[in-house]
Amino acid sequence: MNTASPFQRRAFLTTIGTGAAAVCLAPLHEVQAHFTRRLEALTIDDRFVSLRNAYSLGENVTYFNHASIGTMPRLVQEARMKYLEVCETNPWLYMWGPAWDEQIDRTRATVAEYIGCEVDELAITHNTTEGFNTLAHGLPLGKGDEVLYSTMNHVGARVCWEHRAEEKGFTIRRFEFPIERASIMMSDEIVARYLEQIRPETRMLVIPHIDNMVGFRYPVKRLAAEAKRLGVEYVAVDGAQSIGLIPVNVGDLGVDFYATSTHKWVQSLKGLGLFYVRKELQEILHPMWVTWGQSRYQGSARIYEDYGTRNRPEMLTLEDCVQFQNKLGTEAKEAYLRTLHAHFRDRVDETEGLLWKSPRNWEDGCSIFAIEVLGSKSSDVSDFMFEKHGYVFRAFGGELNALRMSVYVMNTIEEIDRCIDLVKNEFLR
Ligand SMILES: Cc1ncc(COP(=O)(O)O)c(C=O)c1O
């Protein structure tokens, strides 16, 4: 039995000389170099046609559900397998040793640059829900404090507050947001609707950057600034649907916390996320997990991701995901998604019986949008389209009664046209 403490094991490993460390890193560097070569060799045209084979979506699947869960590029899948293989040649060395520490740091630096924050402000978590649970658990909120959010909050950014409110003594208030006005609402109205809800006791405001039902793009920077002017102390943003999909510079938004899941639009492995915690607030936000030696991460958001053994091979792939997204190019990606958005909207507009329920402008929306098939239950349409034609999208019931489409770089105009035609033939005769 190994009776050495984790500290002793680490101390032993740090005695490995630089020559030995280089040997430990060589297999990893080989995988990374291979990935880089393959990525460089990938040619990408401005309509992303060459991308169709870059993913392993099933032949009979037309995937319009990236807002639920993304799909990893083949190149990243391969890199992940290779990291795992290297790790398994000596798990103790790679999981506990310093050999991969700097690689994880490099991954964090790449991701921090991608989302626009400092390295020490970024934790690599599992998902958005985890970030919000850390907040509800670890912020000094108590009696007399209110947490405010609207009905547009996803459960992942809501339930944690409800769960902790009684125990900690703070109150929550969830106000009705008129989702039915989505196609005509402008950002001025969004800001006004939030601001009119703020009261002297409102200490925390939680907002989505992009919501998951109609795909509004919230004017986060302006809203955060105005909320703070009215006395709100903390602004926390749910970025599950924004990072990767639109350019985001978290550090420039003037918000305090930003949680996201990279397994949607950054196309990472499932179960990876990011949590930004503004530097000044790290002293007051307690981590949700406690483990040995955590004090070494004092002064860094790493403290929020430290709960013992992590899946290092998987964490490493985040850097590859970001490189893949960078290869697509922010502007080229936006231009292409804008084209898909406009085409879908125009086809819906010209089709009697279909109703566009999302922002009409790209600037207020994104490639997530809701479409009602008048006279039909949304789940009936989505079930039919999946079972008969392999289309994957989500149905929202209730008053929205809409198909939530979320299209991405490998989707095509032809897929959209076929989708509209099939729905028309089956449900709008
Ligand atoms: C807006 C939004 N927030 C939070 C979540 C929760 O994400 P996760 O389960 O990755 O934490 C989702 C998931 O779809 C979402 O759409």
Which pLDDT value is given to residue 14?
Answer: 45
Distance 271 CA to ligand 1 centre (A): 11
CB of 146 within 8 A of CB of 201? yes
- Report yes or no: 42 and 74 within 8 Å, Cβ to Cβ: no
131 lines ligand 1 (CB under 6 A): no
Is it the case that residue 32 has pLDDT exceeding 70?
yes
Q: What pLDDT sits at residue 52?
A: 84
> CA-to-CA distance for 419 and 413, rounded, in angstroms?
10
Range from 8-22, 84-98, 409-423 carrying the lowest mean pLDDT: 8-22
CA gap 402, 407 in Å, rounded? 15
Query: Residue 368 and residue 383: Cα distance in Å, rounded?
Result: 19
Q: From the CB of 127, is ligand 1 less than 6 Å away?
A: yes
* Nearest-CA residue for atom 6 of ligand 1: 156
pLDDT at 238 over 60: yes
The atom of ligand 1 lying closest to the CA of 211 is: 1
pLDDT of residue 276: 98
Q: What is the pLDDT of residue 17?
A: 52
pLDDT of residue 8: 44
Per-residue HEC secondary structure of the chain comes to CCCCCHHHHHHHHHCCCHHHHHHHHHHHHHHHHHHHHHHHHCCCCCCCHHHHHHECCCCCCEECECCCCCCCEHHHHHHHHHHHHHHHHCHHHHHHCHHHHHHHHHHHHHHHHHHCCCHHHEEEECCHHHHHHHHHHHCCCCCCCEEEEECCCCHHHCHHHHHHHHHHCCEEEEECCCHHHCCCCCHHHHHHHHHCCCCCCEEEEEEECECCCCCCECCHHHHHHHHHHCCCCEEEEECCCCECCECCCHHHCCCCEEEEECCCCCCCCCCCEEEEECHHHCCCCCCCCCCCCHHHHCCCHHHHHCCCCCCHHHHHHHHHHHHHHHHHCHHHHHHHHHHHHHHHHHHHHCCCCEEECCCCCCCCCCCEEEEEECCCCHHHHHHHHHHHHCEECEEECCCCCEEEEECCCCCCHHHHHHHHHHHHHHHCC
* Atom of ligand 1 minimally distant from the CA of 264: 10
β 234-238/202-208 pair status? parallel
Q: Pick the residue whose CA is nearest to atom 7 on ligand 1.
A: 128
- Contact 245 CB / ligand 1 (< 6 Å): no
Task: Choose one of 261, 266, 275, 406 to mutate for the ligand 1 pocket test, by most ligand atoms within 8 angstroms of C-beta.
Answer: 261
**Which of 213, 241, 246 has most ligand 1 atoms within 8 Å of its beta carbon, as the pocket-test mutant?**
241
How much distance in Å is there from the Cα of 243 to the middle of ligand 1? 12
Dist. CA 366–CA 368, nearest whole Å: 5
- Point out which residues pair with 171 in neighbouring strands: 146
pLDDT tens string 176-225: 999 999 999 999 999 999 999 999 999 999 999 999 999 999 999 999 99
Q: pLDDT value at position 295?
A: 87
Predicted local distance difference test score (pLDDT) of residue 5: 43
Q: How far apart are CA 114 and CA 55, in angstroms?
A: 22
Mean pLDDT score of the chain, rounded to an integer? Answer: 94
What CATH architecture applies to the domain 114-325? Answer: 3-Layer(aba) Sandwich (3.40)
- Could you report the per-residue pLDDT of 88-98, keeping only the tens digit for each? 999 998 998 88
CB of 212 closer than 6 angstroms to any ligand 1 atom: yes
Ligand 1 close to Cβ of residue 306 (< 6 A)? no
Please calculate the CA angle 359-361-364 and round it to the nearest 5 degrees.
65
Question: Does the CB atom of residue 242 touch ligand 1 within 6 A?
Answer: no
Q: What atom of ligand 1 comes closest to residue 238's alpha carbon?
A: 3
Rounded to the nearest angstrom, the distance between the alpha carbon of 273 and the centre of ligand 1 is: 10
Q: Find out whether the beta carbon of 406 lies less than 6 Å from any atom of ligand 1.
A: no
Q: For residue range 284-332, what is the model confidence (pLDDT) as tens digits? A: 999 999 988 888 898 999 999 988 899 999 999 999 999 999 999 999 9
Confidence at residue 20, expressed as pLDDT on a 0 to 100 scale: 67
Cβ of 282 less than 6 Å from ligand 1:
no
Pocket test for ligand 1, best of 132, 150, 154, 246 (most atoms within 8 A of CB): 154
pLDDT given for residue 18 in this prediction:
59
From the CB of 260, is ligand 1 less than 6 Å away?
Answer: no
What is the predicted pLDDT for the residue at 47?
A: 84
How is residue 91 written in tokens?
């798990």
Q: Say yes or no: CB of residue 244 within 6 Å of ligand 1.
A: no
Confidence (pLDDT) at 229: 98
Is 70 a pocket residue for ligand 1 (Cβ < 6 Å)? no
Please give the average per-residue pLDDT across 18-40, as a whole number. Answer: 87
Query: Is residue 7 very low, low, confident or very high in pLDDT (cuts 50, 70, 90)?
Result: very low
Q: What is the pLDDT of residues 334-392, one digit of tens each?
A: 999 999 999 999 999 999 999 999 999 999 999 999 999 999 999 999 999 999 999 99
Query: 241 CB less than 6 Å from ligand 1?
Result: yes
* Residue 416 CB-density burial (10 A; 0-12 exposed, 13-18 middle, 19+ buried): buried
For residue 132, which atom of ligand 1 is closest to its CA?
11
